Structure 1
């Protein structure tokens, strides 16, 4: 049975190019991970796991959330999110709030210190990226941003199909 993502008429050249892109994406993800780890170490993450900052990012961008929703969004186990969010709470970056819809539950929300740490980290990342791209023409930088946005949108649109496809594998 053909993959639901597979389009009629995809030829070998297109698949070869997709393979080249895949290799570059893996290389890119490794370099970004290595760089992020190095930057976090240099900034002194106060003992908070690097992965825990993904929780902070989601809370800042999507608002206060239950642990279960964060686990779903981050494709992680609730126990992992609970452990990481506890570390964020201990460091004053996240706080627990009563859930207005269910008083028995709590929401996680960023604190003012969490927002400050996030913005500082974002500033460092932006300075680093600006330095990496400093000798690129402005049009190339804009094109890269536009193409990454387009790629991310395509990945987001096709992710549920990929997940459904892999369930039967």
Structure 2
């Protein structure tokens, strides 16, 4: 398979994942919620920088998540002007449910694969993701 064929397959995968997004309005904010849950807390400006998006976009998403009770602002003891964002229990519940839903979907898609095929795929996909992160291949795209 050529690099161009691989890129086409990955674009198709991206479209499939985007179509499979959860129905609730907060689905658009799941990457932000996951980032805060896995690596937070972060300030809104830090989130914008890491995600490479406009700070106003992050501000709108943060406001919606705060209104929904999925994240909250905390006082920063070192800088009274800063408000680190953290995921609430409700936010973790939404994120956990979405991760379980996606795991079930992927499990269904791989149901016909042997355990060896699944393990090989997981290993190769893990290597691919690590190399994408290491090289910054998708940064700014």
- State the TM-score, normalizing by the size of structure 2: 0.92
1:30 to 15, 37, 40: 15
- Alpha-carbon distance in structure 2 between the residues aligned to 1:95 and 1:163: 28
The one of 128, 144, 151 aligned to 2:128:
151
The runs of 5 or more residues in structure 2 that have no matched partner are none
Distance in 1, Cα, partners of 2:101 & 2:119: 20
Residue in 1 aligned with 2:106? 129
CA deviation after TM superposition for structure 1 residue 32, in Å: 1.2
Distance 1:31 1:94, change over 3 A: same
Q: Give the equivalent residue in structure 2 for 1:12.
A: none
Q: Which runs of 5+ in 1 are unaligned?
A: 1-15, 165-169
How far residue 163 of structure 1 moved from its aligned partner, in angstroms, is: 5.9
Who is 1:140 aligned against? Answer: 117
Q: Distance in 1 between matches of 2:72 and 2:139?
A: 32
1:1-169 map, 5 Å: 17-36=2-21, 40-41=22-23, 45=24, 47-48=25-26, 50-159=27-136
Which has a greater percent of strand? 1
C-alpha change, 1:136 and 1:76, in structure 2 (3 Å) is same
Q: C-alpha displacement at 1:84, in angstroms?
A: 0.4
- Following the alignment from structure 2 to structure 1, what is the Cα–Cα distance between the partners of residues 78 and 114? 51
Show structure 1 runs of 4+ deviating over 4 A. none
3-state SS, counterpart of residue 103 of structure 1: coil
Give the number of aligned pairs.
141
